[in-house]
Structure 1
Amino acid sequence: MSSNDDYDKLSKEEREAKDKADREREAREQAELPYQWKQELGEIDITVPVPPGTRARDLNIVIQKKKLSVGLKGKEKIMDGELPHDIKIDDSTWSLEDQKLVYIHLEKVNQQQWWAHVLTHHPKIDTTKIVPENSKLSDLDGETRGMVEKMMFDNQQKQMGKPTSDELKKIEALEKFKAAHPELDFSNAKIA
């Protein structure tokens, strides 16, 4: 049985409690990382604290298509590993602020994909629970909001291997037709 099936069997209160516990665990795991990060669909921004007084020439930073490394020359790296997805190297940058913070900006190649983590060996976040800051559903007009909610529902259904809203409508229409016409044989009926 998949964890999605288990989740579906929980009551609304149990789901809320599980979601809250998952968010708290994620927050703890992310707080333990040697950096902070946030993302939008097209980009990732990372802040890496370094010892006060650090100069740019003291840093060893490597930004590659699927790799990121940040460290001080001659010392153990602060972060080093594989990125989960490709980035646009030419549009990705780093800077040192106030000689104590390294800001790294990564442009995603796929600008329609949330990242579960920055480095593949670090703890993941649940990308299905991301609500973009700059576009809350409540800010959208009724028709657009309905369309976005339908897309979100359909995407969630597909991920769980369940029928989309359109498929559910077809199933419902077929069931009504079957009930209205019990004399017909629907044993070979297929929903396309």
Structure 2
Amino acid sequence: MSEQPADSLTPAERAAKEEQEKLEKEKEKEKGEQAQLPYTWTQKLPDVDISIPVPKGTRARDLDIDIKKAYLKVALKGQPAIVEGELCQAIKVDESTWSLDDQKEVSIHLEKVNQMQWWENVIKGTAKINTQRIQPENSQLSDLDGNTRAMVEKMMFDQRQKAMGKPDSDTLKKQEMFEKFKKEHPEMDFSNAKFTT
């Protein structure tokens, strides 16, 4: 398929193409900035994982690692810090860990306090990522705790009902209660009763 010349595009197609090119440039810039950091990092909504390369043969006792609620420091003893600064968001210190892998890489796992927010960077003041572009991995309903799972299942049911033009779960519950009330009170006249959603 050959690319259309720019002048044969409709204004909407041209705008979409320009937006796509702008996004590509932003992604490339972001990738370059992230590559300049002395570590790589990934995140899921509940946590952040950081990998920091260190000289081969490094032992745990050679490291100076300090993990606090809003602060992180990783250094080789007696040398300037590889990573040091205020974290962009608070973490749960007791649930955050670090390990030394193959004597050449420090792996840090940080549990977020706010597990519903994406981080734009690890250390405040460093290169940011555009959190609007994050594509969350599909989580399984079975991964969720009971309350969250029930809430998600209710939302999914309500969306399906709405798509079919049917009442949502709250409306169904009200209708059910009304029907039960009518059965319990046959002496009352409900002929003029209107049920509003």
TM-score by length of 2: 0.64
RMSD (Å) for aligned C-alpha atoms? 2.1
Identity of aligned residues (%): 53
Alignment match, 2:187 = none
Alignment of 1:31-110 (within 5 A): 31-110=35-114
Q: Which amino acid aligns with 1:94?
A: W
Gaps in structure 1 of 5+ consecutive residues: 1-9, 136-142, 148-192
CA apart distance, 1:132: 1.1
Alignment match, 2:126 = 122
Equivalent residue pairs, number: 132
CA apart distance, 1:133: 2.8
Runs of 4+ aligned structure 1 residues displaced above 4 Å come to none
TM-score by length of 1: 0.65
How far does the alpha carbon of each residue in 1:61-93 deviate from its partner, in whole angstroms, 9 at most, with x for none? Answer: 000000000010000100000001100000000
Partners of 1:124 and 1:104 lie apart in 2 by: 19
CA apart distance, 1:134: 3.5
Q: Which amino acid aligns with 1:36?
A: T
Larger CA Rg, structure 1 vs 2: 2
1:122 aligned counterpart, secondary structure: coil
Alignment of 1:133-172 (within 5 A): 133-135=137-139, 144=156
How far does the alpha carbon of each residue in 1:166-189 deviate from its partner, in whole angstroms, 9 at most, with x for none? Answer: xxxxxxxxxxxxxxxxxxxxxxxx
